[in-house]
């Protein structure tokens, strides 16, 4: 045998078309970093010293979907929590907390305002610890808000390799709006 190559493709005949993975002169073991979910086909093609080519019959490889991580529990503020003026006098921020999820190394927190025509995203952040604080509450008005947290597993480059089920809670900013200022009609004023 003069040379060989490993070929992996979505095509049932991996030697036709452009392969997804091609490795020249592979060893006995081939390690692939990551394959998308679905059906893959592979073969080994060998080229002899006389130029003749032979290939093993294609083999099939099925990649199953990665299961979702569970939704984080013990979410605070709890569902339906009302934040009133008294609470804002003692704390000028809102801290979101949840329990850790086995297998997760980060969490994606998204904050929405619940509007008549649907949700409007206010903030989206990825954190490592199961807590996040909204320091600037001026972005919130007198309304209902939805916050979601998803446990994820990221690789060393930061790309998400495993997603999770989303946990969701609502809270209400129950802050009375100031009354309009009513001025008495002072009548006609004269300048002397």
Q: Is the pLDDT of residue 61 over 70?
A: yes
Structural domains for the chain: 3-63 (no CATH), 81-174 (2.60.40.10)
What is the largest distance, in Å, between two alpha-carbon atoms of the chain? 117
**Statement: the pTM of the whole predicted model exceeds 0.95:** no
For residues 97 and 94, give the distance between their C-alpha atoms in angstroms, rounded to a whole number.
10
Q: Are strands 81-84 and 166-174 parallel, antiparallel or unpaired?
A: parallel
Instruction: Output the CA angle 165-170-172, nearest 5 degrees.
Output: 165
pLDDT digits (tens, 9 = 90+) for 1-58: 689 999 999 999 999 989 999 999 998 899 987 788 999 999 999 988 877 788 889 9
DSSP 51: S
For residues 20 and 77, give the distance between their C-alpha atoms in angstroms, rounded to a whole number.
47
pLDDT digits (tens, 9 = 90+) for 96-155: 999 999 999 999 999 999 988 889 999 999 999 999 999 988 888 878 999 999 999 999
């Amino acid at each position: 045998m003069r040379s060989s190559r490993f070929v992996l493709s979505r095509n049932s005949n991996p030697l036709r078309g452009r392969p997804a993975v091609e490795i020249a002169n592979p060893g006995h073991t081939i390690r692939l970093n990551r394959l998308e979910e679905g059906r893959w086909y592979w073969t080994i093609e060998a080229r002899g010293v006389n130029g003749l080519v032979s290939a093993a019959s294609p083999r099939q490889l099925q990649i199953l979907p990665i299961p979702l991580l569970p939704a984080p529990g013990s979410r605070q503020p709890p569902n339906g929590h009302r934040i009133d003026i008294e609470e804002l006098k003692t704390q000028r921020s809102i801290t979101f907390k949840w329990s850790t999820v086995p297998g997760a190394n980060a969490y994606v927190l998204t904050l929405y305002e619940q509007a008549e025509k649907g949700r409007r995203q206010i903030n989206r952040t990825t954190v490592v610890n199961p807590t996040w604080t909204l320091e600037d509450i001026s972005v919130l008005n007198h309304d209902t808000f939805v916050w979601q947290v998803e446990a994820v597993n990221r690789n060393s480059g930061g790309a998400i390799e495993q997603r999770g089920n989303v946990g969701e809670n609502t809270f209400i900013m129950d802050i009375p709006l100031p009354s309009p200022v009513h001025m008495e009609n002072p009548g006609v004023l004269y300048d002397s």
